[in-house]
């Protein structure tokens, strides 16, 4: 039951669509421009660097706020609940971002929110993610490739950390700790399905910033 609570709270935070509200302030619906995606990359593409930065920070921020709030409210349960809180609240945030109820479940791809969760989970995953993301993004300009490669590599590292005990599971069984984060990563890859198809066809284009 407590897992459901964390998911619901996370979902409500995730439904705060930074790109949508920022776009409305600029007099446009981000879902009707560019790729039609309500995320930071499309905001960058459509509204420029400032918008992309603000949306990215906002989408990361809602993950940090949701998880830290739950950690604060349930700190009395002890450190063995930390990973459970992070994973299930994080899952809720990503679901809310990808499928916001007030936007007919048409949201973003969860890249920034997942990045924030990675930061919250482990510093080694954070470093690996930064190296892979910026290494690919700066050399190819293809953000989708950088994003998919980053979450995939971090999932592999996460599994290694969990199985070797370098990342404590706490009250979570090892299989559950792995499956929840794996679900988040797979969801991210599924949200990039069209990008992945274009990558295999050699049709995915580098990001052009206004």
Give the Cα separation of 148 and 114 in Å (integer).
11
Q: What are phi and psi of 93, to 5 degrees?
A: -60, -45
Give the Cα separation of 206 and 204 in Å (integer).
7
**Cα separations (Å) of 75 from 9, 112, 119, 137, 171?**
16, 26, 19, 38, 14
Lowest mean pLDDT among 103-112, 114-123, 129-138, 160-169: 103-112
Q: How does pLDDT run across 186-206, given as a tens digit for each residue?
A: 999 999 888 889 989 887 778
Domain boundaries, the chain: 2-99+110-201
CB 142 within 8 A of CB 136: yes
Give the Cα separation of 203 and 61 in Å (integer).
33
pTM: 0.90
Give the Cα separation of 207 and 185 in Å (integer).
22
Q: Which run of H or of E encompasses 177?
A: helix 174-191
Q: What are phi and psi of 34, to 5 degrees?
A: 60, -130
Q: How does pLDDT run across 6-61, given as a tens digit for each residue?
A: 999 999 999 988 887 776 776 676 766 666 676 677 777 777 677 778 888 989 99
């Amino acid at each position: 039951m407590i897992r459901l609570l964390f998911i619901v709270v996370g979902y409500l935070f995730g439904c705060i669509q930074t790109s949508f509200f920022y776009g409305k302030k600029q007099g446009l619906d981000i879902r009707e421009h560019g790729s039609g995606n309500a995320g930071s990359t499309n905001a960058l593409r459509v509204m420029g660097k400032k918008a992309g930065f603000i949306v990215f920070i906002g989408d990361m921020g809602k993950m940090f706020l949701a998880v830290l709030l739950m950690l604060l409210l349930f700190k009395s349960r002890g450190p063995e609940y930390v990973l459970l809180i992070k994973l299930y609240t994080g899952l809720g945030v990503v679901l809310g971002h990808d499928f916001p109820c007030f936007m007919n479940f048409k949201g973003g791809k969860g890249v920034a929110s997942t990045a924030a969760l990675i930061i919250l989970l482990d510093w080694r995953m954070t470093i690996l993610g930064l190296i892979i993301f910026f290494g690919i993004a700066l050399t190819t300009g293809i953000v989708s490739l950088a994003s998919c490669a980053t979450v995939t590599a971090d999932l592999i590292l996460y599994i290694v950390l969990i199985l070797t005990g370098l990342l404590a599971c706490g009250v979570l069984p090892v299989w559950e700790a792995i499956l929840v984060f794996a679900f988040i990563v797979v969801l991210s890859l599924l949200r990039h399905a069209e990008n992945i198809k274009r990558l295999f066809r050699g049709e995915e284009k580098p990001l052009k910033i206004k």
